[in-house]
Amino acid sequence: MILGIQILGILFGLFMLYLAFLHGKRGEFTAKESVFWIAVWIVFILVSIFPGSLDFLAKDVLSMSRPLDFFIIVGFMFISGIVFYTYTMVRKNQKRLEDIVRKIAMQKKNK
């Protein structure tokens, strides 16, 4: 029997799958990024449909009392990684912008 939260998870996964496909089709993602995000959302949908499929991993392999603990830890690690990646990209873009502004200022000074 599928619960309401599972339906919500499936709908969310389908929506995100559509967005990943759309961004890939528009060329906003590389082929590798598209494959990665499509795979992530397919796994998300499958776990939403079959939530008991992670019991073996969470309980037996990782010795966690609940599969929810596994999701919380993996989610925290994923978000931390994304925040770090975003921070490094912002710093890189900030450095590029600083260099461009410096070059434009030097060009205006020389005129």
Q: Is the pLDDT of residue 1 over 70?
A: no
- What are the angstrom distances between the C-alpha of 32 and each of 6, 27, 43? 28, 12, 16
Question: What average pLDDT does range 10-31 have in this prediction?
Answer: 93
The pTM of the full predicted model, rounded to 2 decimals, is: 0.66
Instruction: Say what the pLDDT of residue 96 is.
Output: 95
| CA–CA distance, 63 with 81 (Å, rounded to integer) | 24
pLDDT digits 0-9 by tens, 28-85: 989 999 999 999 999 999 988 887 877 777 777 777 777 777 778 888 888 998 998 8
